[in-house]
Amino acid sequence: MPAVSKGDGMRGLAVFISDIRNCKSKEAEIKRINKELANIRSKFKGDKALDGYSKKKYVCKLLFIFLLGHDIDFGHMEAVNLLSSNRYTEKQIGYLFISVLVNSNSELIRLINNAIKNDLASRNPTFMGLALHCIANVGSREMAEAFAGEIPKILVAGDTMDSVKQSAALCLLRLYRTSPDLVPMGDWTSRVVHLLNDQHLGVVTAATSLITTLAQKNPEEFKTSVSLAVSRLSRIVTSASTDLQDYTYYFVPAPWLSVKLLRLLQCYPPPEDPAVRGRLTECLETILNKAQEPPKSKKVQHSNAKNAVLFEAISLIIHHDSEPNLLVRACNQLGQFLQHRETNLRYLALESMCTLASSEFSHEAVKTHIETVTNALKTERDVSVRQRAVDLLYAMCDRSNAQQIVAEMLSYLETADYSIREEIVLKVAILAEKYAVDYTWYVDTILNLIRIAGDYVSEEVWYRVIQIVINRDDVQGYAAKTVFEALQAPACHENLVKVGGYILGEFGNLIAGDPRSSPLIQFNLLHSKFHLCSVPTRALLLSTYIKFVNLFPEVKTTIQDVLRSDSQLKNADVELQQRAVEYLRLSTVASTDILATVLEEMPPFPERESSILAKLKKKKGPSTVTDLEEAKRERSADINGGPEPAPASASATSTPSPSADLLGLGAAPPAPVGPPPSSGGLLVDVFSDSPSAVAPLAPGSEDNFARFVCKNNGVLFENQLLQIGLKSEFRQNLGRMFIFYGNKTSTQFLSFTPTLICSDDLRANLSLQTKPVDPTVDGGAQVQQVVNIECVSDFTEAPVLNIQFRYGGTFQNVSVKLPITLNKFFQPTEMASQDFFQRWKQLSNPQQEVQNIFKAKHPMDTEITKAKIIGFGSALLEEVDPNPANFVGAGIIHTKTTQIGCLLRLEPNLQAQMYRLTLRTSKETVSQRLCELLSEQF
């Protein structure tokens, strides 16, 4: 930039500013400003032509007056005239005035655009920089229309100076953010990617910001940037701080560029090229290694820069979710931050670990920090960090630690901040239901929840406990006994009265044999709470009373007296009065048989998504990612779904539904929608009568498919528009798969049509039934689809999921393999060593055994190998093989037509980095298929 000469100090401006600051009152300031405005106006209108310095000075004064909050209605033309000056300072002030005061509707916009075009064409880097800054500062749609086609040419021109390239990249980024439809994609897109290789790191930094934003909307156009970004990142990460002196910040080489490159890589799935993937893994390992090194400076700037790169690297590791070693290392690194003295680091570590807990590979590693996280709940001063700790406990919860975590959350709930109590209540209710092996524990937990935080227990929570109790015969008596005891407390929360009234009205007869809980005692206990409750609760209790008339004829007279009292028959509330009148008449007129029919026990509730989970998602805000992370995180949890129950009432005359198999796997699956196509081709199209041509499998589909062989939940496919998440559960020969389609954009998907495609052979062996989804998916939203699966006979192929939709007028067509494999119908079988080898010898025919010797594709880690064998579906038999280094497993493949026993033996050779896998089953095709699937996992 040219040096400012001594005469450019503009003494008149300095005097004017000094006068303004010395004014003692607002009136004096306005008087001085008006005097100056009159002087400037006379100068501009005078006959004598002003030189460039005078114009600049007066325009600066006008700009200062405007910034003080006063309107300026003249001087614009003089500012435009300054743009034609060849002096830097005059042109600079002209552009500054225009950037601040000229709006897009100004009549001068054409003159301004011409001046900008002249400067852009001048090839003078200083003038080009001023023009680009002005375009970016204004950033209007008119500016985009005028210059969006010119700036890319400047950006990729070979003779453009580095400083101009930086400005051009950031200017184009600004225009794209305000008017993306006006920035044309063209030949320059392939050339701008190569700016990542530029020698000037400032250019690379600006180009990375631009490419990241462009790649989010046009991933295919910029996919070549992945290899270049990895290459550049590798050079930065492996360089010493002295190699990049101009871009080293407190001994951290180019931290801002590193963060931007890592964010760019998060726009894409893991690289397909093994060389690029390996180099990226090395970069991430190096970043994790550097985090373990002692700090090179004690200054906070050093640790901030170092940790910024580290956290972005961990975000990329989580996004790829494909390298078990990196995920575990990232978890261990975050675990060190959980007790760091810096609050922000603790917060970020907890937040990142919440996401890590959703990965199959790192979930166990996250669980090792449970004591630290629970301690943070009790000792952390910052409420936002405590909330993240609650989120992490929720994310790391599974069957092995559910009771411990629920107990800790209940303990914290008593002293928790009011702002997060409702969310904690919802999470406790969800965890208690999801991981309840013993449903008596579930009932105790929910009642304890109501006792501790009754005001924050929403209707969805007590609805759910009633659904579970009604759907499970084994817990009904215990629930009746427990709520009866809880209601005896002197002060009960109203929600407890609701639960008690509903459960005793349905199952009070199960405890009526005990003299301590006789029918009259039950009634008196409930009625003692009646006058302290709100109208809706009183209405529910009246329904309980009429249920008692049916269950306990001996208290009929007592209840009729209550219903007949003036406080009921003449109640000011119409609902209560009507119930009292109708129930009294019903108890008087109806015969015993009619009464028993009208007041029969509520039927089980049909299975549906938990309303508590839906409420938690709603409370967290509409986010596709939230739901898909939920799908990734949930493992083999029982989903005890159901709709919200209506309050107990006399009109419960609905026909009992089929038996409550809460997983829904034993129930008859819904009939498919529409007949299958008559042509002998592909499939059972249950969605559309006339599907378009099916797209080939998406890149990476095979890799993603292989990842799901040993796990049931996670993200199956993701690009910049669509994310597909899966959550599956299998029992014997039946299965259920929840498919989540997430719209990652802000634009609606129209004509959204997913189609399941099966070959004729597969359709004969695997029954898939589902329902169509809503053809419109709003921006940022998701839709869920349930697929009911039945394994008729063993199979080798997998169905293809084809998704077709319109996005922004463009037809999109995506196909992925759906991970429904034969091993999903495995049931693990425990057996002793003697039984195992006896069965092994029985399956010794050549056609019953398949063996494969192969090179290890992943690090030979014992714990990961065990987890994969268990995830594959077989039981892992400990201390069975004479060689303790070997792994053996056993299980049964369940199909509709037969059951197939299966034994496996995996022999690792650490020195040679080889495995020998042997499978023996009673059917050759099953042995072959299981061997193929399991070999790909190691």
Residues annotated within a binding site = 11-12, 43, 53, 57-61
Q: In degrees rounded to 5, what are phi and psi of residue 921?
A: -135, 170
How far apart are alpha carbons 909 and 850 in whole angstroms?
A: 19
Residue 290, both tokens:
């550097």
How far apart are alpha carbons 136 and 175 in whole angstroms?
A: 7
For residue 302, which amino acid is it?
A: H
Residues 687/753, Cβ–Cβ less than 8 Å: yes
Strand stretches in 712-835, DSSP E: 713-718, 722-731, 734-743, 749-757, 766-770, 782-791, 800-807, 810-817, 826-828
Residues 906/870, Cβ–Cβ less than 8 Å: no
How far apart are alpha carbons 767 and 799 in whole angstroms?
A: 11
Residue 768, both tokens:
């898939």
Residue 418, both tokens:
């009011």
Q: Is 364 helix (H, G, I), strand (E, B) or coil?
A: helix
Q: Which of 11, 19, 61 is nearest to 39 (CA)?
A: 61
* CB atoms near residue 659 (< 10 Å): 11
For residue 350, which amino acid is it?
A: L
How far apart are alpha carbons 472 and 481 in whole angstroms?
A: 15
* DSSP state string for 690-708: S--PPPPBPTTHHHHHHHT
Q: In degrees rounded to 5, what are phi and psi of residue 543?
A: -65, -35
H or E element in which residue 908 lies: strand 899-909
Q: Is 392 helix (H, G, I), strand (E, B) or coil?
A: helix
For the chain, what is the radius of gyration of the CA atoms?
A: 36
Total residue count of the chain as it appears in this document: 938
Burial code of 891-923, b = ≥16 C-beta within 10 A, e = fewer?
bbbbbeeeebbbbbbbbbeeeeeebebbbbbbb
How far apart are alpha carbons 757 and 702 in whole angstroms?
A: 16
The Cβ-side half-sphere exposure at 728, using a 13 Å CA radius, reads 26
How far apart are alpha carbons 819 and 717 in whole angstroms?
A: 12
The residues near 316 (Cβ < 8 Å, ≥ 6 apart) are 262, 265, 266, 284
Q: Is 784 helix (H, G, I), strand (E, B) or coil?
A: strand
